[in-house]
Structure 1
Amino acid sequence: MGIQSVELLLDEQGDAAIRAQWQALLDAGLPSSGSHPAPSNRPHITLTARQRIDPARENVVQRLLSALPLPIQIGSPTIFGRPHRSMVLVRTVVPTAALLRFQLAVHLALGDSPDVSRVCLPDAWTPHVTLARLPAAQISAAITVIAGMDCPPVNAVRLRRWDSDAAREWML
Protein backbone atom coordinates (compact mmCIF):
# COMPACT_ATOMS: atom_id res chain seq x y z
CA MET A 1 0.00 0.00 0.00
CA GLY A 2 1.27 3.46 -0.91
CA ILE A 3 1.36 6.71 0.94
CA GLN A 4 -1.06 9.61 0.91
CA SER A 5 0.10 12.98 2.12
CA VAL A 6 -0.75 16.62 2.64
CA GLU A 7 2.06 18.97 1.66
CA LEU A 8 2.88 22.66 1.71
CA LEU A 9 4.06 24.14 -1.59
CA LEU A 10 6.46 27.06 -1.75
CA ASP A 11 6.05 30.36 -3.53
CA GLU A 12 7.83 30.91 -6.87
CA GLN A 13 11.00 32.20 -5.20
CA GLY A 14 11.24 29.21 -2.84
CA ASP A 15 10.42 26.73 -5.58
CA ALA A 16 13.12 28.24 -7.82
CA ALA A 17 15.73 28.21 -5.04
CA ILE A 18 15.21 24.51 -4.32
CA ARG A 19 15.06 23.62 -8.02
CA ALA A 20 18.40 25.40 -8.49
CA GLN A 21 19.90 23.09 -5.85
CA TRP A 22 18.34 20.05 -7.53
CA GLN A 23 19.90 21.17 -10.82
CA ALA A 24 23.31 21.85 -9.26
CA LEU A 25 23.35 18.27 -7.96
CA LEU A 26 22.39 16.93 -11.39
CA ASP A 27 25.06 19.09 -13.06
CA ALA A 28 27.63 17.55 -10.70
CA GLY A 29 26.54 14.05 -11.73
CA LEU A 30 24.91 13.34 -8.39
CA PRO A 31 21.46 11.98 -7.57
CA SER A 32 18.83 14.68 -7.22
CA SER A 33 15.11 15.01 -6.66
CA GLY A 34 15.23 17.03 -9.87
CA SER A 35 15.79 13.88 -11.90
CA HIS A 36 12.14 12.87 -11.66
CA PRO A 37 10.34 14.11 -14.80
CA ALA A 38 6.77 13.97 -13.46
CA PRO A 39 4.95 17.33 -13.46
CA SER A 40 3.90 16.62 -9.87
CA ASN A 41 7.56 16.57 -8.76
CA ARG A 42 8.03 19.88 -6.99
CA PRO A 43 9.68 21.16 -3.82
CA HIS A 44 7.36 20.67 -0.86
CA ILE A 45 7.16 20.25 2.90
CA THR A 46 5.26 17.11 3.90
CA LEU A 47 2.91 17.87 6.79
CA THR A 48 1.51 14.37 7.18
CA ALA A 49 1.83 11.02 5.48
CA ARG A 50 -0.36 8.00 6.10
CA GLN A 51 -1.63 4.95 4.28
CA ARG A 52 -5.01 6.52 3.67
CA ILE A 53 -6.58 9.93 4.02
CA ASP A 54 -10.35 9.99 4.19
CA PRO A 55 -11.49 12.26 1.32
CA ALA A 56 -14.34 13.48 3.53
CA ARG A 57 -11.75 15.09 5.82
CA GLU A 58 -10.29 17.24 3.03
CA ASN A 59 -12.96 19.90 3.55
CA VAL A 60 -11.82 20.21 7.18
CA VAL A 61 -8.23 20.72 6.01
CA GLN A 62 -9.41 23.30 3.46
CA ARG A 63 -10.62 25.46 6.34
CA LEU A 64 -6.96 25.90 7.31
CA LEU A 65 -6.08 27.59 4.02
CA SER A 66 -6.81 31.00 5.53
CA ALA A 67 -3.49 30.67 7.43
CA LEU A 68 -1.62 30.83 4.11
CA PRO A 69 0.69 32.33 3.06
CA LEU A 70 2.88 31.07 5.86
CA PRO A 71 6.40 32.53 6.19
CA ILE A 72 9.04 29.82 5.76
CA GLN A 73 12.77 29.97 6.37
CA ILE A 74 14.72 27.24 4.59
CA GLY A 75 17.67 26.28 6.77
CA SER A 76 20.89 24.36 6.44
CA PRO A 77 21.40 21.01 4.76
CA THR A 78 21.21 17.87 6.86
CA ILE A 79 21.04 14.13 6.34
CA PHE A 80 18.37 11.60 7.27
CA GLY A 81 18.96 7.88 7.24
CA ARG A 82 21.63 5.36 8.09
CA PRO A 83 24.98 4.98 6.30
CA HIS A 84 24.37 1.37 5.23
CA ARG A 85 21.22 2.46 3.38
CA SER A 86 20.33 5.22 1.00
CA MET A 87 20.67 8.58 2.72
CA VAL A 88 18.36 11.55 2.22
CA LEU A 89 19.87 15.00 1.76
CA VAL A 90 17.42 17.70 2.84
CA ARG A 91 17.23 21.37 3.61
CA THR A 92 15.77 21.84 7.06
CA VAL A 93 12.88 24.24 7.51
CA VAL A 94 13.02 26.40 10.62
CA PRO A 95 10.24 25.08 12.87
CA THR A 96 8.53 28.35 13.79
CA ALA A 97 5.62 28.35 16.20
CA ALA A 98 3.27 29.20 13.30
CA LEU A 99 4.53 26.30 11.19
CA LEU A 100 4.28 23.84 14.08
CA ARG A 101 0.73 25.01 14.85
CA PHE A 102 -0.23 24.61 11.20
CA GLN A 103 1.18 21.07 11.01
CA LEU A 104 -0.66 20.14 14.22
CA ALA A 105 -3.90 21.63 12.84
CA VAL A 106 -3.58 19.50 9.68
CA HIS A 107 -2.91 16.40 11.79
CA LEU A 108 -5.97 17.09 13.97
CA ALA A 109 -8.17 17.92 10.96
CA LEU A 110 -7.39 14.54 9.42
CA GLY A 111 -7.98 12.70 12.67
CA ASP A 112 -5.65 10.49 14.61
CA SER A 113 -4.89 7.21 12.90
CA PRO A 114 -2.57 4.27 13.59
CA ASP A 115 -1.26 4.43 10.02
CA VAL A 116 0.26 7.93 10.34
CA SER A 117 3.95 7.82 9.56
CA ARG A 118 5.66 8.11 12.93
CA VAL A 119 7.95 10.87 11.60
CA CYS A 120 4.84 12.94 10.83
CA LEU A 121 3.41 12.83 14.32
CA PRO A 122 3.35 16.38 15.72
CA ASP A 123 5.93 15.67 18.44
CA ALA A 124 8.32 13.91 16.04
CA TRP A 125 7.95 15.95 12.84
CA THR A 126 11.04 17.59 11.36
CA PRO A 127 10.04 20.03 8.62
CA HIS A 128 12.29 19.80 5.56
CA VAL A 129 12.51 19.91 1.78
CA THR A 130 14.14 16.88 0.14
CA LEU A 131 17.06 17.49 -2.23
CA ALA A 132 18.22 13.93 -3.01
CA ARG A 133 18.40 10.28 -2.03
CA LEU A 134 21.97 9.09 -2.38
CA PRO A 135 24.57 6.66 -1.06
CA ALA A 136 26.51 7.72 2.04
CA ALA A 137 29.71 7.90 -0.06
CA GLN A 138 28.23 10.82 -2.05
CA ILE A 139 27.04 12.95 0.86
CA SER A 140 30.21 15.03 1.15
CA ALA A 141 30.25 15.80 -2.58
CA ALA A 142 26.57 16.73 -2.54
CA ILE A 143 26.94 19.08 0.42
CA THR A 144 29.95 20.70 -1.27
CA VAL A 145 27.85 21.32 -4.40
CA ILE A 146 25.04 23.07 -2.52
CA ALA A 147 27.27 24.92 -0.05
CA GLY A 148 26.49 28.61 -0.26
CA MET A 149 23.20 28.07 -2.08
CA ASP A 150 21.16 29.48 0.75
CA CYS A 151 17.47 30.21 0.32
CA PRO A 152 15.90 33.59 1.02
CA PRO A 153 12.86 33.79 3.29
CA VAL A 154 9.89 32.47 1.34
CA ASN A 155 6.25 31.63 1.87
CA ALA A 156 4.28 28.41 1.80
CA VAL A 157 1.37 29.37 -0.41
CA ARG A 158 -0.63 26.24 -1.26
CA LEU A 159 -1.63 22.87 0.12
CA ARG A 160 -1.66 19.79 -2.04
CA ARG A 161 -2.71 16.21 -1.60
CA TRP A 162 -0.54 13.45 -2.99
CA ASP A 163 -1.65 9.85 -3.56
CA SER A 164 1.33 7.62 -4.39
CA ASP A 165 -0.86 4.67 -5.41
CA ALA A 166 -2.56 6.72 -8.10
CA ALA A 167 0.56 8.89 -8.73
CA ARG A 168 -1.75 11.88 -8.59
CA GLU A 169 -1.81 15.26 -6.92
CA TRP A 170 -4.54 17.83 -6.37
CA MET A 171 -4.68 21.19 -4.67
CA LEU A 172 -6.78 21.74 -1.59
Structure 2
Amino acid sequence: MADALQLFFDDRADAEVRARWELLDDAGVPSLATRTHRRHRPHLSLALGLAIPARARADLRRDLTLLSLPDLWLYTLGTFPDGQHTLFLGAVADTELLAVHSAVHDVLAGRVRGPAGQYLPGAWVPHCTLAQDLAVAQVAAGFAALLPVRPVRAAITGVGVTDTRTGDVDLLLTR
Protein backbone atom coordinates (compact mmCIF):
# COMPACT_ATOMS: atom_id res chain seq x y z
CA MET A 1 0.00 0.00 0.00
CA ALA A 2 1.12 3.57 -0.44
CA ASP A 3 -1.19 6.25 1.04
CA ALA A 4 -2.88 6.20 4.43
CA LEU A 5 -5.27 8.82 5.81
CA GLN A 6 -4.21 9.08 9.47
CA LEU A 7 -5.18 10.80 12.69
CA PHE A 8 -2.21 11.97 14.78
CA PHE A 9 -2.20 12.25 18.57
CA ASP A 10 -1.33 14.92 21.10
CA ASP A 11 2.17 14.83 22.64
CA ARG A 12 1.12 12.93 25.77
CA ALA A 13 -0.67 10.16 23.88
CA ASP A 14 2.13 10.00 21.32
CA ALA A 15 4.64 9.49 24.16
CA GLU A 16 2.45 6.79 25.75
CA VAL A 17 2.31 4.81 22.50
CA ARG A 18 6.06 5.24 22.00
CA ALA A 19 6.59 3.92 25.56
CA ARG A 20 4.68 0.78 24.58
CA TRP A 21 6.86 0.44 21.47
CA GLU A 22 9.89 0.55 23.76
CA LEU A 23 8.38 -2.09 26.08
CA LEU A 24 7.93 -4.37 23.08
CA ASP A 25 11.47 -3.74 21.83
CA ASP A 26 12.83 -4.46 25.33
CA ALA A 27 10.92 -7.78 25.30
CA GLY A 28 12.48 -8.77 21.96
CA VAL A 29 9.35 -7.98 19.97
CA PRO A 30 10.13 -5.65 17.04
CA SER A 31 7.73 -2.74 17.38
CA LEU A 32 6.41 -0.58 14.57
CA ALA A 33 9.08 1.97 15.49
CA THR A 34 11.84 -0.59 15.02
CA ARG A 35 10.47 -1.92 11.74
CA THR A 36 9.99 1.55 10.25
CA HIS A 37 13.17 3.02 11.74
CA ARG A 38 10.97 5.49 13.63
CA ARG A 39 9.73 7.12 10.40
CA HIS A 40 6.10 6.85 11.43
CA ARG A 41 4.28 8.62 14.23
CA PRO A 42 1.72 6.87 16.41
CA HIS A 43 -1.59 7.18 14.61
CA LEU A 44 -4.98 5.74 13.80
CA SER A 45 -5.66 5.12 10.10
CA LEU A 46 -9.04 5.99 8.60
CA ALA A 47 -8.35 4.85 5.03
CA LEU A 48 -5.64 3.09 3.08
CA GLY A 49 -5.05 2.71 -0.65
CA LEU A 50 -2.49 2.70 -3.41
CA ALA A 51 -3.05 6.42 -3.96
CA ILE A 52 -5.18 9.21 -2.52
CA PRO A 53 -5.17 11.78 -5.34
CA ALA A 54 -4.59 15.53 -4.92
CA ARG A 55 -8.22 16.45 -5.67
CA ALA A 56 -9.48 14.09 -2.99
CA ARG A 57 -6.94 15.55 -0.55
CA ALA A 58 -8.15 19.08 -1.32
CA ASP A 59 -11.74 18.04 -0.65
CA LEU A 60 -10.68 16.33 2.58
CA ARG A 61 -8.89 19.53 3.69
CA ARG A 62 -12.12 21.46 3.19
CA ASP A 63 -14.43 18.90 4.82
CA LEU A 64 -12.18 18.17 7.80
CA THR A 65 -12.59 21.77 8.95
CA LEU A 66 -16.33 21.10 9.26
CA LEU A 67 -15.97 17.97 11.39
CA SER A 68 -15.65 17.70 15.13
CA LEU A 69 -12.73 15.33 15.75
CA PRO A 70 -13.33 13.43 18.98
CA ASP A 71 -10.74 12.37 21.52
CA LEU A 72 -9.90 8.68 21.21
CA TRP A 73 -9.70 6.04 23.88
CA LEU A 74 -7.13 3.41 22.95
CA TYR A 75 -8.60 0.86 25.28
CA THR A 76 -7.87 -2.72 24.25
CA LEU A 77 -4.83 -4.79 23.32
CA GLY A 78 -5.57 -7.02 20.37
CA THR A 79 -4.51 -8.86 17.27
CA PHE A 80 -6.22 -9.61 13.96
CA PRO A 81 -7.20 -13.11 12.84
CA ASP A 82 -5.55 -12.62 9.43
CA GLY A 83 -2.29 -14.49 10.01
CA GLN A 84 -0.25 -11.25 9.90
CA HIS A 85 0.25 -11.36 13.66
CA THR A 86 -0.22 -7.67 14.40
CA LEU A 87 -0.45 -6.23 17.91
CA PHE A 88 -2.52 -3.09 18.32
CA LEU A 89 -4.27 -0.82 20.78
CA GLY A 90 -7.92 -0.82 19.76
CA ALA A 91 -9.88 2.43 19.89
CA VAL A 92 -13.39 2.62 21.27
CA ALA A 93 -15.62 2.90 18.20
CA ASP A 94 -18.10 5.45 19.53
CA THR A 95 -20.64 7.29 17.39
CA GLU A 96 -18.42 10.37 16.98
CA LEU A 97 -15.47 8.38 15.66
CA LEU A 98 -17.69 6.36 13.34
CA ALA A 99 -19.24 9.59 12.03
CA VAL A 100 -15.78 11.00 11.18
CA HIS A 101 -14.84 7.73 9.49
CA SER A 102 -18.04 7.72 7.47
CA ALA A 103 -17.63 11.38 6.47
CA VAL A 104 -14.09 10.92 5.14
CA HIS A 105 -15.14 7.84 3.20
CA ASP A 106 -17.98 9.83 1.64
CA VAL A 107 -15.31 12.22 0.29
CA LEU A 108 -13.01 9.38 -0.80
CA ALA A 109 -15.67 7.14 -2.39
CA GLY A 110 -14.63 6.16 -5.89
CA ARG A 111 -11.55 8.38 -5.78
CA VAL A 112 -8.90 6.26 -4.03
CA ARG A 113 -6.91 3.98 -6.29
CA GLY A 114 -6.75 0.47 -4.86
CA PRO A 115 -8.59 1.04 -1.57
CA ALA A 116 -7.93 -1.49 1.20
CA GLY A 117 -11.21 -3.20 2.06
CA GLN A 118 -10.44 -3.56 5.77
CA TYR A 119 -10.59 0.24 6.17
CA LEU A 120 -14.00 0.69 4.55
CA PRO A 121 -17.10 1.43 6.66
CA GLY A 122 -18.52 -1.77 8.08
CA ALA A 123 -15.18 -3.60 8.03
CA TRP A 124 -12.93 -1.08 9.82
CA VAL A 125 -11.43 -1.85 13.22
CA PRO A 126 -10.08 1.45 14.60
CA HIS A 127 -6.63 0.82 16.07
CA CYS A 128 -3.12 2.07 16.64
CA THR A 129 -0.58 -0.50 15.44
CA LEU A 130 2.15 -1.44 17.90
CA ALA A 131 3.88 -4.28 16.01
CA GLN A 132 3.22 -6.31 12.87
CA ASP A 133 4.42 -9.36 10.95
CA LEU A 134 5.34 -11.14 14.18
CA ALA A 135 6.00 -14.79 14.85
CA VAL A 136 3.45 -16.48 17.11
CA ALA A 137 5.94 -16.55 20.01
CA GLN A 138 6.50 -12.80 19.57
CA VAL A 139 2.75 -12.15 19.78
CA ALA A 140 2.66 -13.99 23.11
CA ALA A 141 5.74 -12.11 24.35
CA GLY A 142 4.14 -8.84 23.25
CA PHE A 143 0.98 -9.51 25.22
CA ALA A 144 3.06 -10.44 28.27
CA ALA A 145 5.11 -7.24 27.97
CA LEU A 146 2.06 -4.97 27.66
CA LEU A 147 -0.34 -6.48 30.20
CA PRO A 148 -2.08 -5.11 32.14
CA VAL A 149 -3.34 -2.65 29.54
CA ARG A 150 -3.54 0.99 30.58
CA PRO A 151 -5.97 2.93 28.37
CA VAL A 152 -4.58 5.91 26.45
CA ARG A 153 -6.68 9.01 25.91
CA ALA A 154 -5.59 10.64 22.67
CA ALA A 155 -6.60 14.07 21.47
CA ILE A 156 -6.36 14.44 17.69
CA THR A 157 -3.90 17.18 16.78
CA GLY A 158 -3.55 16.50 13.08
CA VAL A 159 -4.86 14.64 10.07
CA GLY A 160 -2.64 13.75 7.16
CA VAL A 161 -1.99 11.45 4.25
CA THR A 162 1.13 9.41 4.92
CA ASP A 163 3.18 7.74 2.22
CA THR A 164 3.62 4.40 3.99
CA ARG A 165 6.86 3.63 2.14
CA THR A 166 8.72 6.83 3.03
CA GLY A 167 6.86 8.15 6.07
CA ASP A 168 6.33 11.54 4.36
CA VAL A 169 3.14 13.24 5.56
CA ASP A 170 0.91 15.66 3.68
CA LEU A 171 -0.82 17.42 6.59
CA LEU A 172 -4.43 18.18 5.76
CA LEU A 173 -5.42 19.64 9.14
CA THR A 174 -3.61 20.66 12.33
CA ARG A 175 -5.20 21.66 15.62
Q: How does 1:110-121 map to 2 (within 5 A)?
A: 110-112=108-110, 115-121=114-120
Distance of 1:167 and 1:11 partners within structure 2: 18
Seq. identity, %? 26
Distance of 1:164 and 1:141 partners within structure 2: 26
Q: TM-score, normalised by structure 1?
A: 0.88
Bigger mean CA offset, 52-61 vs 158-167: 158-167
Distance of 1:65 and 1:37 partners within structure 2: 32
Q: Which amino acid aligns with 2:90?
A: T
Q: CA deviation at 1:99?
A: 0.6
Q: Which amino acid aligns with 2:109?
A: G
Distance of 1:146 and 1:165 partners within structure 2: 27
Distance of 2:148 and 2:88 partners within structure 1: 15
Q: Deviations over 1:91-122 (max 9, x none)?
A: 10000111111011111112235721110111
Distance of 1:43 and 1:167 partners within structure 2: 12
Equivalent residue, structure 2, for 1:109: 107
Q: Deviations over 1:133-164 (max 9, x none)?
A: 21112212111101124133221221011123
| Uncovered stretches (5+) of structure 2, i.e. residues with no partner | none
Equivalent residue, structure 1, for 2:12: 13
Distance of 1:19 and 1:107 partners within structure 2: 28
Equivalent residue, structure 2, for 1:57: 56
Q: How does 1:6-155 map to 2 (within 5 A)?
A: 6-35=5-34, 36-38=36-38, 40-63=39-62, 64-82=64-82, 85-112=83-110, 115-133=114-132, 134-155=134-155
Q: CA deviation at 1:166?
A: 5.4
Equivalent residue, structure 2, for 1:157: 157
SS of equivalent to 1:67? coil
Q: TM-score, normalised by structure 2?
A: 0.87
SS of equivalent to 2:152? coil
Bigger mean CA offset, 63-72 vs 23-32: 63-72
Distance of 1:162 and 1:131 partners within structure 2: 17
CA distance 1:58–1:86, shift in 2 (3 Å): closer
Report if the CA contact (8 A) 1:54-1:110 is conserved: no
How many residue pairs align between the two structures?
168
Distance of 2:59 and 2:142 partners within structure 1: 40
Report if the CA contact (8 A) 1:14-1:151 is conserved: no
Distance of 1:167 and 1:20 partners within structure 2: 20
SS of equivalent to 1:70? coil
Q: Which amino acid aligns with 1:164?
A: T
Alpha-carbon RMSD: 1.9
